[in-house]
Structure 1
């Protein structure tokens, strides 16, 4: 799909199918998202992302995308839970609508149907019908699934921390995904762990740095690492306990001996004590 041709075809289509300003802004946001994803047949994008790109509220986006779907610019389907909706952006550059006998016909050969549409029409409507064939380009399934999954962490961040990630945080998370090779599920798991402990995003960053250093990239790797940690902790708790012995001071080991006293001296001291007690 050619981005420039698509935009030109979009504005050509606006001449016959008018849209609100909100719907136009939403279409451009969807086109930009799909362009970054590599022009997938279907792609996912969070409503929160579309709010940032368009400056519209969630309710306005819901109304605008319904308008785009009804008028044949896009298609979408919602998913259960907090998952992002799946969108399909029609290739308007390969779709020219004609009005023949009150019926809307579509052609998908943009090169043959460019310019003035009337030049390509035959005198017989039946010839036009046979010439206007709809076709779809089959995309790589793995690539589609990757683009869909990479939107989940944005939604999970919002669910765990109650706000949208900043642009700097988004860039850092993309580094974890693209350079460190961490999966989207691993990113989400770190958010969940931090949220369950009542911690902030910074705590999740510490977890991700630790996993990236250990080469942990998938949920299976995370579970294996946690099992090893629990086993090590269990061995420590069940192992022999070190015996604690208090240090004995030197004076206790070698008690001080009283000097020897002669019997005469002892008798004298006893007499003094007796005299003292009598005086009391």
Structure 2
């Protein structure tokens, strides 16, 4: 598999298939481990390791794994007392390519079994109308980050998932929009904004925008506007420093 191409193909499907943020985080962790194994067709991974890498609790992890399996992104085989569960990553890029090149007047009965199975999997039950609706609608925080800030790594996906669970998807996206407005294309800055909102009890998008407007009005009338702005940037950048390692 090609890590980058598979990741791009996957995030093209996230909104279309309405994947939860937990499923997105788990898929990223599974891809990371599969890459470490040298892209084996089937590989094993302890649940404890996947929970740690995806940042999911046991119940959320099991639901995310079931979701990915049912929607055709992975194949999962349960383990036993001396064997870890087995996983197989489905090549999203290959399936999309097959769908694009597949003649409309062919029957899946005329194709090899493995290709017929892929074409009738849930991933291919799409329609153009739904695709247009998704494009017009709001993107998921994970997709928004990758399309506007940087490549999404499992570590950042975990961070975004945690904040989505604590606050909300729309607040996480709004924090990233504010970071982009300041030309801060790293999630640490967005996280600093989210921590401020948490501290001040902000829990809705309307409250966040109202707070932003009030802060803007105060800064306009303050002679220390530029100095205060620079100090705020510095505090946000230094708060709980972590390094975004590019894969």
TM-score by length of 1: 0.37
Larger radius of gyration: 1
TM-score by length of 2: 0.42
Question: Higher relative contact order at CA 8 Å, sep ≥6: structure 1 or structure 2?
Answer: 2
